Structure 1
Amino acid sequence: MRQLAKILAALVLLSGLTSTPAVLAQEGGEDAAIRDVITRQLDAFLADDATRAYSFAAPGIQRLFPGEERFMGMVRQGYPPVYRPRSRDFGALRQTPQGPVQEVTLIDANGQSWLALYTMEQQPDGSWKIAGVRLVREDAVAA
C-alpha cells in the first residue's frame, strides 16, 4: 500500500511537470499573438491604411462602425493617442471576466502619456481581434 502511494505521488508530480511547459507555451503564444495584433493595427493607423486597421477590429466594433472610413474617422476624432502615437510600450496582459486586457502605454504627439487598455476577443478560428480600447490619461508628460 505504501509503495502504491509513492507511485501515485510520483505520477502526479510527473504529470504536473509535463503539463506546465505546455501551459506556459500556450500563455506565451497568446501574449505574442495579442501584442502582434495591436502592433499591426497601430502600424496601420500610422500608415493611414484603413483597410488593414479595420481588419483588426472585432466583429462587434465593425457592426458599430460599418465601413473602414467611418471606423478611421472615429479613431481619428476619439482616440488621437491611438491614431498617432509617438511611442508605445506594452505592459501587462491581464485576464478579466470580459477576456484578456492588454495594457499599452502610449505617448501622444504632445508628449502626454496615456494608458490604453485593449480588450481582446478570440475569434472562432483562434485569431485575436480588438474588441475595444479605453484610454486613461496619465500624469506623466514626455519631453
Structure 2
Amino acid sequence: MRALSFAIMLCLILGSKAQAEDPVQTAQMLIQGQIEAFLNNDAAAAYSFAAPDIKALFPDKDIFFAMVKKSYQPVYHPGNYAFGKSRAIDNGAVVYQEMLITGSDDKDWTAIYQILRQPDGSYKIGSVQVLPNTTSKGI
C-alpha cells in the first residue's frame, strides 16, 4: 500500500510539474514524496525533488543521497513525523514548511523546509534546516 501511494504521488508530482493551486499543499506533497524516497532508499527519486542550486552543489544522486544520509539523519529515516506550521510568501513563490520529527533514535527534531517555485511553475526543495527541538517555534 505504501509503495503504491508513493508511486501515484511521484507520478502526479513529476508528471505534471507539480503545478499548484495551493503552494503549501504542494510543498507538503513534495516533502512527503522525498521522505518516502529516502525510506525506500531510492536515491534517484529523492534527488528529483531537489532544486537546481542543490543539484549544482551535489551533481550526482549518489553524492546527494550520501550527504543526506550522513548529515540529515532525522529526515533521511524519520521515525514519526508531522507537518507543523507553514508560510507562503511572494504569492507562493517560496514556501516554508515546518516538520516535527521523531528520529529513528527517538530524539525530537524540527526541520524547516524551503520550497521554491521554479521558472516552469513546478516546485522543488531548496533547503532543509534541521534543529534539535521538541516543540514548534513557528516560522
TM-score bracket for the superposition, by shorter chain length? 0.7 to 0.9
Count of aligned pairs between the two proteins = 114
Q: Larger helix proportion, structure 1 or 2?
A: 1
Choose the corresponding residue for 1:36, options 26, 29, 44.
29
In structure 2, what is the equivalent of residue 83 of structure 1?
76
Structure 1 unmatched runs, 5+: 1-24
Larger Rg: 1
Q: Tell me, in whole angstroms, the C-alpha distance in 2 between the residues paired with 1:135 and 1:52.
A: 21
Secondary structure, in 3 states, of the residue corresponding to 1:63? Answer: helix
Choose the corresponding residue for 1:112, options 82, 107, 110.
107
Are positions 1:99 and 2:99 aligned together? Answer: no
Are positions 1:46 and 2:39 aligned together? Answer: yes
In structure 1, what is the equivalent of residue 16 of structure 2?
none
1:139–1:30 CA distance, 2 compared to 1 (3 A)? closer
CA offsets, 1:30-87, max 9 Å, x none?
Answer: 1111100000000000000000000000000000001000000000000000100011
TM-score (ref. length: structure 2): 0.76
In structure 2, what is the equivalent of residue 131 of structure 1?
126
Structure 2 unmatched runs, 5+: 1-19
Higher relative contact order (CA 8 A, sep 6+): 2
